[in-house]
Amino acid sequence: MTKELLKVTDLSIANVGPATPRPILKNLSLSVAESETLAILGRSGAGKSVLGRALMGWVDAPLGVTSGRITLEGQDVLGANPDALRRIRGTGIGYVGADPTRVFDPTLPVGRQIADKYRAVRPEVSAKEAMERVHELFSLVRIPEARHRMAELPSKYSGGMIQRAAIVDAMIGETKLVIADNVTQPLDVTVAAQIIRLFQDLRERLGTAFLFITSSVPTIKDFADRIVVMDQGEIVEEGPTPQLLAAPRTEASEKLIAQSPRIWGTTAPESLSAEDIRDMPPALSITALRRTYKVPRKDKLFGSVFVQAVRGADFDVYPGESLAIVGESGCGKSTLMRLLTWLEEPDDGSVQFHGKNVGSFTARERFDLRAQLQLVLQDPYGSIPAHWTIGRTISESLRLHSPLKGKARRARVEETMAEVGLDPALYDKLPSGLSAGQRQRINVARAIVLEPTVLLLDETFSALDPMEQTPLIELFRKLQRERSITCIFISHDLALVRRVASRVAVMYLGRIVEIGSNHNVFSRPLHPYTRALLSAAPTIEDSPYDPNECLVDGEPPSPIRLPKGCAFADRCPVAQEACMSSDPELMRASERSRVACHFPLAALEPASVKDAAHVG
């Protein structure tokens, strides 16, 4: 048994603000050994973050410690005087939170801030040595061009990069334990996977102990030595990772495991088969769509740069199908959405709606198009006016687009509310107090009340937790069956896409790089980027793709300076010479798939993938 590093005994924390204190953590006891990786698992609100902060001696009003002790190598944390506490925080325990953009002063270079911190906790170090140490660690966490990066402001960092810098900040004082609270949550899948790999690497090299706080089982399943499951402020179960995941003993753990995303173990949704689809004219047809933004440059007297947000997107959407567009942040998904709805006009290319070019629509036709093509937005809170009754919110578009009046309009709205699973009695109520799931239903009702033929869903489910997601997905399936609505989902969540889409388009840097049926894309990806996305997807199953082989390094190049050849070439694990010079077009690869790659992975289909899905 290795030496015990951190010990928590009988810790209770309560919200002592109100007259009767509300307990938040109840009599927790746990310990972390040297070099151990412990995962704290629990659903949202379980009290994980409160615990994580308390371990740093960070308990702010209205919270207060009501009982218990925390010791680091025998030294009391909660009762430490300010100087001792500062030493514990700088050289004993480091903390990395979910939102690293808020760790640094936005007006100072990142490298200098970390060096300052290092010198604050190790006063014997000189300024020069501190900068050298920062540089060393920046290279260790694989921040490219470390020296140059150190001199930049936090705002110049991407999400993954600033998270790496925050990790350096937490570890620079040679800390023995690093608490990582939800660190991958704000990151894109491939970047999140890189960060997890980085933690594994650091643990092996430095022997630091980690306390990894998360609500996502896949994130820690290959990483943690031991898991502690929390529920409602209590520790309900703990044990070594493989045993606990294989045989959970409590309902809380079971639920967490059952709700974890799966890709290969599930089947693609039933929908119109591809055969039916191809005989119909497309509902929406996009050809060579382009959109470039001109952004003025700061560092030159004159001149501007061009951001190529969408660079020639090409695809058709057939009536009644559900197409998902997946890709990481910044790949142009939302711009594409705005172009499809004609909220913004493309620089080039065309959008055809049931065979008619939207670009040549009259004002009247465009107005009608708005009714036919409805958008359901991402944010369930911001998008619903707080001072309007729910009925008014939903009926607003009827007012503009439909001749229905008075009683008839109300009847239609109530009918729609019932259809999306909202109690029609809520018609005259205000939306305050509704859950995210219910709000999202209002958004859906608002979109379908006009009986549109096409629905665009921009990350509609992302803000919902798995428990709220499932019924909404069911709702969409039902709507599609009954009304044969065409749905276009935009999402970064592969497990979700697997459940809802009949066809999948993968987008990278403003272009569709692969499009095919759900089954083909998930079990026989053709594009190396698709495979990288799949290997990075956090799922509870073992991925058939080995991340070490498929996962891509780095982050997408900026859409300003695009390489001459394939845009993916500098991250592509199978790139060859030809890729550097010529840009692959989106070409037909098989009956139902198209791919933009000179060397598609057709032959590499992994044998381990069962043909679980039968949708072509």
Ligand X SMILES: Nc1ncnc2c1ncn2[C@@H]1O[C@H](COP(=O)(O)OP(=O)(O)OP(=O)(O)O)[C@@H](O)[C@H]1O
Interaction site with other proteins (CB under 8 A): 53, 56, 58, 82, 86-87, 89-91, 95, 97, 99, 102-108, 116-117, 120-121, 153, 155, 169-170, 173, 298-301
Binding test (CB under 5 A) with Mg ion, winner from 37, 49, 260, 395: 49
**Looking at the DSSP assignment, which residues form a beta bridge with residue 504?**
324, 516
Q: Give the total of residues touching ligand SF4 (CB under 6 A).
A: 12
428-447: contacts with ligand SF4 (CB under 6 A):
none
**Judged by CB under 6 A, which stretch of 47-55, 80-88, 492-500, 554-562 contacts ligand X?**
47-55
Specify the residue, 302 or 425, whose C-beta has the smaller distance to other proteins.
302
528 binds, among ligand SF4, other proteins, ligand X, none (CB under 5 to 8 A by kind): ligand SF4
- Site for ligand SF4 contains 256 (CB under 6 A): no
Q: How far is the CB of 586 from ligand SF4 (least distance, A)?
A: 11
574-603: contacts with ligand SF4 (CB under 6 A):
574-575, 579, 584, 597-599
Q: How far is the CB of 578 from ligand SF4 (least distance, A)?
A: 7
Binding test (CB under 6 A) with ligand X, winner from 8, 42, 504, 532: 42
In order of 137, 172, 555, the CA distances from 144 in angstroms are: 12, 18, 10
Q: How far is the CB of 324 from ligand SF4 (least distance, A)?
A: 20
Q: What is the dihedral of CA 497, 466, 228, 166, to 10 degrees?
A: 60
Specify the residue, 50 or 507, whose C-beta has the smaller distance to ligand X.
50
90 vs 178: CA distance, rounded Å: 11
- Site for ligand X contains 398 (CB under 6 A): no
CB 225 within 8 A of CB 37: yes
CB 117 within 8 A of CB 203: no
Q: How far is the CB of 112 from other proteins (least distance, A)?
A: 10
Specify the residue, 116 or 238, whose C-beta has the smaller distance to other proteins.
116
33 vs 7: CA distance, rounded Å: 9
Radius of gyration of the chain from its Cα atoms, rounded to whole angstroms: 26
Specify the residue, 171 or 426, whose C-beta has the smaller distance to other proteins.
171
- Site for ligand X contains 218 (CB under 6 A): no
**Judged by CB under 6 A, which stretch of 42-50, 122-130, 344-352, 549-557 contacts ligand X?**
42-50
Q: How far is the CB of 575 from other proteins (least distance, A)?
A: 36
First to last CA, the chain: 54
Closest-CA residue to 515 (of 571, 455, 597): 597
- Could you tell me how far CA 452 lies from the centroid of its own chain? 29
Q: Is 576 exposed, middle or buried (0-12, 13-18, 19+ CB in 10 A)?
A: exposed
168 vs 108: CA distance, rounded Å: 16
Q: How far is the CB of 42 from ligand X (least distance, A)?
A: 5
**Judged by CB under 6 A, which stretch of 41-49, 169-177, 248-256, 479-487 contacts ligand X?**
41-49
- Site for ligand X contains 215 (CB under 6 A): yes
Residue 105, phi then psi, degrees to nearest 5: -65, 120
Residue the block writes with tokens 């060393």: 136
**Judged by CB under 5 A, which stretch of 41-49, 475-483, 542-550, 559-567 contacts Mg ion?**
41-49
Residue the block writes with tokens 């808020």: 102
Per-residue x/- track, 179-198, ligand X (CB under 6 A): ---x----------------
* HSE-up of residue 370 (Cα within 13 Å, Cβ side): 13
46 binds, among Mg ion, other proteins, ligand X, none (CB under 5 to 8 A by kind): ligand X
- Site for ligand X contains 50 (CB under 6 A): yes
* Burial per residue of 494-533, b for 16 or more beta-carbon CB atoms within 10 angstroms, e otherwise: bbbbbbbbbbbbbbbbbbbbbbbbbbbbbbbbbbbbbbbb
Q: What is the dihedral of CA 472, 476, 478, 479, to 10 degrees?
A: 130
Specify the residue, 62 or 573, whose C-beta has the smaller distance to ligand X.
62
Specify the residue, 49 or 535, whose C-beta has the smaller distance to Mg ion.
49
Closest-CA residue to 456 (of 305, 213, 283, 281): 283
506-545: contacts with Mg ion (CB under 5 A):
none
Specify the residue, 44 or 362, whose C-beta has the smaller distance to ligand X.
44
501-540: contacts with ligand SF4 (CB under 6 A):
528
Q: Is 26 exposed, middle or buried (0-12, 13-18, 19+ CB in 10 A)?
A: middle
299 binds, among Mg ion, ligand X, other proteins, none (CB under 5 to 8 A by kind): other proteins
149 vs 152: CA distance, rounded Å: 5
504 vs 595: CA distance, rounded Å: 12
Q: How far is the CB of 274 from Mg ion (least distance, A)?
A: 43
Q: How far is the CB of 475 from ligand X (least distance, A)?
A: 25
Specify the residue, 192 or 336, whose C-beta has the smaller distance to ligand X.
192
- Site for ligand SF4 contains 566 (CB under 6 A): yes
322 vs 457: CA distance, rounded Å: 10
Specify the residue, 70 or 454, whose C-beta has the smaller distance to ligand X.
70
Q: How far is the CB of 215 from ligand X (least distance, A)?
A: 5
Helices 436-448, 390-401: inter-axial angle, 10-degree rounding: 20
Closest-CA residue to 127 (of 137, 119, 138): 119
In the structure encoding, which two tokens stand for residue 469, read together?
């997601």
Per-residue x/- track, 44-63, ligand SF4 (CB under 6 A): --------------------
**Judged by CB under 5 A, which stretch of 43-51, 59-67, 365-373, 510-518 contacts Mg ion?**
43-51
- Rule CB under 6 A: which residues touch ligand SF4? 528, 566, 568-569, 572, 574-575, 579, 584, 597-599
The residue ranges that bind ligand X (CB under 6 A) are 15, 24, 42, 44-50, 62-63, 182, 215
